[in-house]
Structure 1
Amino acid sequence: MAVDHVLLDADGVLQRSPRDPIGLLRGWVGERAEELAHALWAAERGPLRGEGDFLEVLERVVPTYADVAPGVLYDALWRDITVSPESLALAGRLREAGLGVHLGTNQHRQRGEQMRTELGFDEHFDVSCYSWEMGVTKPEPAYFETAVARIGAAPDQVLFVDDVLANVESAREVGLRAVHWHLDQGHAVLVEALAAHGVEVRAA
Structure 2
Amino acid sequence: MTSAITTVLFDADGVIQRGTQDWTARLYGMVEEGVGEEFITDLMRSERPAIAGKEDFRDAIADVLTRWNATATVSEAIEPWHWFAAEPVVVDLIQKLRRSGIQCHLATNQHAYRRDIMRDDRGYDDLFDQSFYSCDLGLAKPDPAYFRAILGATGVPASSVLFIDDIPANVEGARSIGIKAEVYDLANGTDALSELLRSYELPA
Give the TM-score normalised by structure 1.
0.93
Find the partner of 2:89 among 86, 89, 92: 86
1:178 aligns with 2:181: yes
Helix, strand or coil: the match of 1:31? Answer: coil
SS in 1 for 2:141: coil
Partner of 1:96: 99
Is 1:137 equivalent to 2:140 in the alignment?
yes
Cα distance in 1 for partners of 2:26, 2:159 equals 41
Cα contact 2:8–2:162 (8 A) shared by 1: yes
Query: Which residue of 2 is the match for residue 73 of structure 1?
Result: 77
Residue of structure 2 in register with 1:194 after alignment:
197
Cα deviation for residue 158 of structure 1 reads 0.7
Q: Distance in 1 between matches of 2:126 and 2:97?
A: 14
Residue aligned with 2:176, SS: helix
Give the CA deviation at 1:22. Answer: 3.2
Distance 1:31 1:82 in 2: 30
Equivalent residue, structure 1, for 2:11 = 9
Alpha-carbon distance between aligned partners in 2 of 1:46 and 1:18, rounded to the nearest angstrom:
25
Aligned partner of 1:32 among 24, 30, 35: 35
Shift of the 67–133 alpha-carbon distance from structure 1 to 2, 3 Å rule, reads: same
Q: Which runs of 5+ in 1 are unaligned?
A: none
CA contact (8 A) 1:127 1:150 kept: no
User: Is 1:6–1:160's contact at 8 Å kept on the other side of the alignment?
Assistant: yes
What's the counterpart of residue 25 of structure 2? Answer: 23
Distance 1:25 1:70 in 2: 12
Deviation at 1:19, TM superposition (A): 6.3
8 Å CA contact retained: 2:96, 2:203? no
Would the aligned equivalents of 1:17 and 1:82 in 2 still touch at CA under 8 Å?
yes
| Contact 2:108 2:132 (8 Å CA) reproduced | yes
RMSD of aligned Cα (Å)? 1.3
Identity %: 36
- 1:60 is aligned to 63
Which deviations, in whole Å up to 9, do the C-alpha atoms of 1:113-133 show, x marking residues without a partner? 110011000101111110000
- Give the match for residue 110 of structure 2: 107
Read off the aligned partner of 1:9 and give its amino acid letter: D
Amino acid of the structure 2 residue aligned with 1:70: V
The size of the alignment, in residue pairs, is 200
Structure 2: runs of 5 or more not aligned: none
1:43 corresponds to: 46
Secondary structure of the corresponding residue to residue 136 of structure 2: helix
Alpha-carbon distance in structure 2 between the residues aligned to 1:70 and 1:116: 22
